[in-house]
Chains A and B, each alone.
Chain A
Amino acid sequence: DIQMTQSPSSLSASVGDRVTITCRASQTISKYLNWYQHKAGEAPRLLIYATSSLQSGVPSRFSGSGSGTDFTLTISGLQPEDFAYYFCQQSYSTSWTFGQGTKVEFK
């Protein structure tokens, strides 16, 4: 299986900050990397698919970049509702694998 390494595992930030989360695949996955936001008690929410495509309804402060094995989720101008858990997922293979997740906490 393709291993996904996500970092950091947690970070503290303030409203308005620019936040960057990275995900590294153990082999090339082309552009097949997706990002999700998850809040406790809610369904995970798709933010970005295919590395950089913004899911409908997701604010433009969320963006994704990368290719091959290294990928980044950026939140430009953190908002109070963005404090949550974020995880990446590779869809290069039918057998999906996920990053360990990043908890974005209030500083």
Chain B
Amino acid sequence: QVTLKESGPALVKPTQTLTLTCTFSGFSLSTSGMGVSWIRQPPGKALEWLARIDWDDDKFYSTSLKTRLKISKDTSKNEVVLTMTNIDPVDTGTYYCARVHTTGNYPDYWGQGALVTASS
């Protein structure tokens, strides 16, 4: 059974760095063809893809946010970490991680999401 769960601070102050962890089970990120993506949804807006990391440590970032994002994995812990620097109130939203089959490039399992509020 594949599960993913996002964790991190619920409240972050502007200019701070946000660190989110995706802890998963039911698959391994050392398996060929596996990846994990981060996606967010600001209140009342559409989902926005942020970043992806693949089994071979290939990394991909949103063009508009790439200077602020860093994605990494710890295969032994079944974790993927996303850091976002210089947080702004517009970064408020629900952050999701999802498993990706890199050949199909679609997320087949998602976490429930973690709500992050950026406010002073």
Contacts and interface: CB of A to CB of B under 8 A. Distances in A.
Interface in B75-111: 96, 98, 104-111
Chain A interface, >50% SS class? loop
A49 to B, nearest CB: 5
Nearest to B63: A95
Interface size class of A (residues with CB under 8 A): 20 to 34
Given A49-B104, A95-B63, A98-B47, A42 B52 contact: no
A43 B106 contact: no
A100 B47 CA distance: 7
Nearest to B5: A43
Interface residues of B, number: 24
Contacts of B60: 94-95
Interface in A31-82: 32, 34, 41-46, 49-50, 55
Nearest to B52: A94
Contact of A43 (B47, B49, B63, B109): B109
A56 B112 CA distance: 20
Given A87-B47, A97-B49, A43 B113 contact: yes
A41 B107 CA distance: 18
Contacts of B98: 44
B98 to A, nearest CB: 8
